[in-house]
Amino acid sequence: MAFPYLRSTILPLVIGCIAGVVVIAGLTAGYYGWQLFAVAVLIGVGLGVPFGLWNVRRMRATPPLTRPASPTMDPSAAAREVDPLRAEPYPPAPDQGRA
């Protein structure tokens, strides 16, 4: 079984975000004790784990974006392959060249 990289990335982010919201709301409300941080951890884990797992399942169920079939869909792809630092020209503005 492979290591669940997506789950191990998403879960701490979701738990941290929810706990951070609780800490900010508690500090704004005037609570400054250690109890605020303990409650934030409990709420963060309690709400973050189910929401994070749901989010991971939803991300895996979503089909990936399709890539272009060939480089011919992008006319300047061949030029970028030869010289990646080549500047892309912009089309002239509608009023350019008129005095």
**Burial degree of 45 (CB within 10 A; 0-12, 13-18, 19+):** middle
Mean pLDDT value across residues 84-92: 65
- Asked if pLDDT for residue 12 goes beyond 70, the answer is yes
Mean pLDDT value across residues 34-47: 97
Q: Are 19 and 44 in contact (CB under 8 A)?
A: yes
69 vs 52, more confident: 52
Q: Report residue 91 CA to chain centroid gap.
A: 32
Q: What is the pTM of this model?
A: 0.64
What gap in Å lies between CA 22 and CA 15, rounded to an integer? 11
Q: Are 43 and 22 in contact (CB under 8 A)?
A: yes
Query: Alpha-carbon Rg of the chain, whole angstroms?
Result: 25
